[in-house]
Amino acid sequence: MRVARAVFLNAEQGKSLEQQAHGRSLPARVVERARIVLLTAEGLRDKEIAQELGITAEKAARWRKRFLAGGIAALEKDAPRPGRTRVITDRQVKGVVEMTIHGRPAGATHWSTRTMAAAASISEASVRRIWHAHGLKPHLVRTFKLSRDIRFAEKLETIVGLYLNPPEHAIVLCADEKSQI
């Protein structure tokens, strides 16, 4: 028969655990863990603690071991967990970033999360997370747009010519300036 290690508390630990066990503003899990340790210090077995607190014996044993290993500080935080495994590879992330920066979807001026998701075969939410992580905002344009008008250069020369060489006794004002016109 296995016997769990005994827990002995000094006065300071006992006082601190009593405060935590009766704390109303503390998280419930911290209160429960303090109560588990206090009951183990009284000499109760894990099964008895589990029955009294309405938990499993494994849980009581876990927090007994963690207290013995790390003291009161070990009761405040959960052990780290590995989390979900990555579904999107670094290669896919790099591909989305490259397409966003250097490519453009057919028949559109910029990528949307839906068009990128379809092109990269990943979810729209994944595209949004990748863009956010890399600071990409393809819908915002921060550079000069050159017009596709075939007569753009001619129009530009005419307008700039008015500013540089206005007609005699005339004032040249710009009331509204629109891009690509």
- Among 9, 52, 17, 15, CA closest to 34: 17
Domain presence at residue 32? yes
Determine phi and psi for 35, rounding to 5 degrees.
Answer: -65, -40
The secondary structure of 66-125, three-state, reads HHHHHCCHHHHCCCCCCCCCCCCCHHHHHHHHHHHHHCCCCCCCCCCHHHHHHHHCCCHH
How many domains does the chain contain in total? 2
Domain presence at residue 64? yes
Q: Model pTM greater than 0.85?
A: no
CB atoms within 10 A of CB 56: 13
Q: pLDDT tens for residues 57-96? A: 999 999 999 999 988 888 888 888 888 888 899 999 999 9
Judge contact between 105 and 119, C-beta under 8 A.
Answer: yes
Burial class (CB in 10 A: 0-12, 13-18, 19+), 97: middle
The mean per-residue pLDDT over the stretch 85-112 comes to: 90
Lowest average pLDDT, out of 14-23, 72-81, 120-129, goes to 72-81
Domain presence at residue 108? yes
Position 80 scores a pLDDT of 84
Same domain (yes/no): 109, 58: no
pLDDT category, 130, cuts 50, 70, 90? very high
